[in-house]
Amino acid sequence: MEINNAPQKKRALSFIQSSGMFTLGNYLGAVKNWNNMQEEFECVFGIADLHSITVRQDPATLRKQIYSAAAMLLSTGLDPEKSLIFMQSHVAAHSQLAWILNCYTQFGELSRMTQFKDKSQKHSDNVNAGLFTYPVLMAADILLYKPDLVPVGADQKQHLEIARDIAKRFNGIYGDVFTIPEPYIPPIGAKVMSLQEPEKKMSKSDENENAKILLTDSPDAIMRKFKRAVTDSEARVCVGENKPGINNLIEIYSCITGKTADEITAEFEGKGYGDFKLSVGEAVVEELRPVQEKYNMYISDKAQLEKIYKEGAEKAQYVARKTLSKVMKKVGYVL
């Protein structure tokens, strides 16, 4: 890829955590769009494996998840010839810049982060400092690569905002060191909700297997989970205020087929939820079939995978070190 310090195209950056197998939410809300973005932008994609340990992880499982994340990103269409794809832990500059930025971030602003409040409630036995300073590491992840744009879901807006605040504060003291990234809302995308509790988003760390579709789920498992998806008693396929389950299924079906909500309502007029769930399940199975074929190929060829992520790390280190050196010089370190 072209990544250098004077890019022709606008640069976009996004990271995904290796905290479990990606869900249909990660796919429709993020990764599928990243695939499309590769033509328009110079893209940087990272596997946020450092972030994963804010929650306690079993080492063997974590290792497997990181491999899976790398294989899955390639399987969903990310191309190492076009984009920079790497693992965060392979680029030491992330941790180094995060330390420096920690000293330019206020306790008060970190205390206001809703994700910290949510996760510290959920993992009350392990409210570690990493969980608290997570947004600073995320700011380092972003600012090292000087992206113009960062694709964000609604849940991530607050984190991009704090990264922008830290960058502006630093630039205010030392001059134009960091590019201030803008949020990018992709033209197509969905917020996918839990199939069991459709008021909350589908999450890879959800302990209820029926709540999430994993990108590696078999066709049988996908169909079974959609059949069990929570709906309502109205029995009409249409968007409605008190129909979070059906709204979610419409959103998923729409995102995959390109049909509008009205077209979907017309298609299922006079039919029950059973038929609709079957169609949504089948659409998802077909969408994921080619992804799963590629995934099986990548995950069984560790040598090829290793070659790709090591090359990615080298390129990322080059870009990241340049930014870090500039920051260190500005702060007053001896290089």
- What's the token pair of residue 28? 């429709």
The nearest distance, CB 57 to ligand AQP, in angstroms, is 11
Nearer to ligand AQP, 26 or 323 (CB): 26
Specify the DSSP element, H or E, that contains 12: strand 11-17
Give the residue among 314, 33, 58 at the shortest CA–CA distance from 189: 33
Query: What's the CA gap between 120 and 203, in Å, rounded?
Result: 17
**Residue 19 engages ligand AQP in binding (rule: CB under 6 A):** yes
- What's the token pair of residue 179? 């590019």
Vertex 20, ends 150 and 292: CA angle to 5°? 90
**Residue 326 engages ligand AQP in binding (rule: CB under 6 A):** no
Query: What's the CA gap between 331 and 308, in Å, rounded?
Result: 34
Residue that has been written with the tokens 């994340």 in this structure: 69
The nearest distance, CB 33 to ligand AQP, in angstroms, is 9
**Residue 300 engages ligand AQP in binding (rule: CB under 6 A):** no
Residue that has been written with the tokens 């939410």 in this structure: 25
302 is annotated as an active-site residue: no
Tell me which of 11, 12, 13, 16 binds ligand AQP, using CB under 6 A: 16
The nearest distance, CB 333 to ligand AQP, in angstroms, is 31
The nearest distance, CB 18 to ligand AQP, in angstroms, is 8
Tell me which of 146, 159, 204, 243 binds ligand AQP, using CB under 6 A: 204
**Residue 254 engages ligand AQP in binding (rule: CB under 6 A):** no
**Residue 94 engages ligand AQP in binding (rule: CB under 6 A):** no
Reading phi first (left if > 0) and then psi (alpha if -120 to 50, else beta), residue 175 is in left
- What's the token pair of residue 49? 């494996």
Torsion of CA 190, 191, 196, 197, to 10 degrees: -150
Which residues touch 251 (CB under 8 Å, ≥6 apart)?
190, 191, 192, 193
Query: What's the CA gap between 112 and 22, in Å, rounded?
Result: 28
**Residue 88 engages ligand AQP in binding (rule: CB under 6 A):** no
Nearer to ligand AQP, 255 or 327 (CB): 255
Q: Which of 201, 212, 243, 315 is catalytic?
A: 201
Query: What's the CA gap between 206 and 71, in Å, rounded?
Result: 22
Stretch that binds ligand AQP, among 4-12, 13-21, 250-258, 271-279 (CB under 6 A): 13-21
The nearest distance, CB 103 to ligand AQP, in angstroms, is 25
Stretch that binds ligand AQP, among 24-32, 83-91, 167-175, 230-238 (CB under 6 A): 24-32
**Residue 197 engages ligand AQP in binding (rule: CB under 6 A):** no
The pattern of x and - marking residues 26 through 65 that bind ligand AQP according to CB under 6 A reads: x--xx-----------------x-----------------
119 is annotated as an active-site residue: yes
Neighbours of 172 (CB within 10 A): 9
Applying CB under 6 A, the site for ligand AQP has a residue count of: 20
Residue that has been written with the tokens 């290793």 in this structure: 306
Q: Point out which residues pair with 17 in neighbouring strands.
A: 48
The pattern of x and - marking residues 135 through 164 that bind ligand AQP according to CB under 6 A reads: ------------------x-xx--------
Note the Cα 212 to chain centre separation in Å.
Answer: 15
**Residue 312 engages ligand AQP in binding (rule: CB under 6 A):** no
Q: Point out which residues pair with 48 in neighbouring strands.
A: 17
**Residue 202 engages ligand AQP in binding (rule: CB under 6 A):** yes
Which residues are near ligand AQP by CB under 6 A?
A: 16-17, 19-20, 23, 25-26, 29-30, 48, 153, 155-156, 191-192, 201-205
Q: Which residues are catalytic?
A: 119, 201, 204
